[in-house]
Amino acid sequence: MIIEFISAIVIFSTLWGLLPRNEWWVRCFDFPRLQILAVGVLVWVALIYAIYQNEMLQNDSFQSFNFKNPPLHDVLLLILLTGSILYQSWMILPYTLFWRKQVIQAESPDPMNMISLLVSNVLTPNNNYQALIDHVRHYQPDVLVTLETDSRWERALSVIEVDYPYVVRVPLDNMYGIHLYSRLPLVNPEVKFLFSREIPSIHTQVRLRSGKLLRLYCLHPKPPTPNEAWDSTLRDAELLAVGDHVAHQRQSCIVAGDLNDVAWSRTTRLFQRISGLLDPRVGRQFMNTFHVNYLLLRWSLDHVFHTSDFSLVNMKLLESIGSDHFPVYTVLHHDPKVQLIHRAPIASQEDTLRAMAKINAGIVQARAEMPGYQSDEMIAER
């Protein structure tokens, strides 16, 4: 009975997550796919063993044991459970070593064309400022993106501004503050509130040491949770609007931040196809950044995506700074020649229509929630 009950939970979680709904109580099943898969495999083995035991009891001998006449409900349960395991495996398999790398490893990278980024959701109430400062001083990233930073964090991080003269500050007390610190020159940095007056994002160009200009988007949309947003409409719209904007740029681009969505969700995959951006985790590792305190309940919320003219030098999780997210350190190398090797995701006509529908749904919801809301020119110009 326990095995059947847990099997039913795995099957339900898989099927429920397939529903084309945006409510948090549907979209939440996008996140724990690895956990659902692990439980599914365990109960699959237990179910096979239970059927075996039942056959042994009925036939009284191993010689007469066979699976020719198991109970129908066991057969149906086994088929549905197997289907759930296969589906969950298909969704997360790209983020393992068993998949082809989406981004090649850089060979003999030129320091003049390299950019290193450290992305850290600090958790506003956390006061372990020194841990992040130590990471910055040790790894010396070219760009530091901090999320959930308020005025206290801004004051604490002011000590690094000697080495990071280019700064964009948006301190907020609502868990959506964002700061950008850069050693490299920032060109025309802007703070945008795409679908909410409470949720800022930073859009800027960055000049590499070689003089090459690239476009950087730093994002932190709201997650679909009961205490944040009832559904994923605005989050999805923001990701896809940025993806659409990237697709129309004739420029190298990087998108970084806490996207409050997992790498393997349908929305993130659609974002990749719409934007054409690559994910350096594909073919390498999960990079599960959240939740620091729960080893068995972790998934990838913090991301770095980039255009196909970059190769990967390094990408890794850093030690905890007391936040609920691990910081992510990434080093990329700009090299136009690698575009001939990479296979950038391509959007179909159906993908484009679906993305535009989600962006328009976000505009409608933003207008309903914020009287007088006007679409940002980045969205309107599409």
Residue 62 CB neighbours (<10 A):
9
> Rounded mean pLDDT of 216-225?
96
Instruction: List, for residues 7-28, the tens digit of each pLDDT value.
Output: 999 999 999 999 999 999 999 9
- Answer yes or no: are the C-beta atoms of 290 and 325 closer than 8 Å: yes
Q: What pLDDT score does 57 carry?
A: 59
> Rounded mean pLDDT of 130-136?
98
Angstrom distance (rounded) from CA 195 to CA 358: 12
Q: Where is pLDDT greater, at 1 or 40?
A: 40
Q: Indicate the pLDDT class of residue 302, thresholds 50, 70 and 90.
A: very high
Angstrom distance (rounded) from CA 90 to CA 124: 36
Q: Is the pLDDT of residue 62 over 70?
A: no
Q: Would you state the structure tokens that stand for residue 317, as one six-digit string?
A: 């999780």
Instruction: List, for residues 239-285, the tens digit of each pLDDT value.
Output: 999 999 999 999 999 999 999 999 999 999 999 999 999 999 999 99
Residue keyed to tokens 């947003």: 229
Instruction: List, for residues 64-89, the tens digit of each pLDDT value.
Output: 445 556 677 778 999 999 999 999 99
Q: Indicate the pLDDT class of residue 308, thresholds 50, 70 and 90.
A: very high
- Answer yes or no: are the C-beta atoms of 295 and 310 closer than 8 Å: no
Beta-bridged to residue 201, according to DSSP, are 192
* Among 260, 269, 256, 271, residue whose Cα is nearest residue 303: 256
- Answer yes or no: are the C-beta atoms of 206 and 185 closer than 8 Å: yes
pTM higher than 0.95: no
> Rounded mean pLDDT of 335-363?
96
User: What is the DSSP pairing of strand 201-207 with strand 328-334?
Assistant: unpaired
Angstrom distance (rounded) from CA 76 to CA 82: 10
- The set of long-range contacts for 265-268, using a CB threshold of 8 Å and a minimum separation of 24, is 265/27, 265/30, 265/31, 266/30, 267/30, 267/232, 267/235, 267/236, 267/239, 267/240, 267/358, 268/239, 268/303
* Among 121, 142, 143, residue whose Cα is nearest residue 132: 121
* Among 376, 361, 382, residue whose Cα is nearest residue 192: 376
- Under 8 Å CB-to-CB from 48, ≥6 apart: which residues? 78
Q: What pLDDT score does 206 carry?
A: 98
Task: Report the chain's mean pLDDT, rounded to a whole number.
Answer: 93
3-state secondary structure of 117: strand
Helix (H) or strand (E) holding 182: strand 178-182
Q: Is the pLDDT of residue 333 over 50?
A: yes
Residue 45 CB neighbours (<10 A):
11
Instruction: List, for residues 196-205, the tens digit of each pLDDT value.
Output: 999 999 999 9
Q: What pLDDT score does 380 carry?
A: 61
Helix (H) or strand (E) holding 94: none
Angstrom distance (rounded) from CA 172 to CA 166: 19
Structural domains of the chain ordered from first start: 2-95 (no CATH), 111-369 (3.60.10.10)
φ/ψ region of 140 (left if φ > 0, alpha if ψ in -120 to 50, else beta) reads left
Angstrom distance (rounded) from CA 346 to CA 273: 5
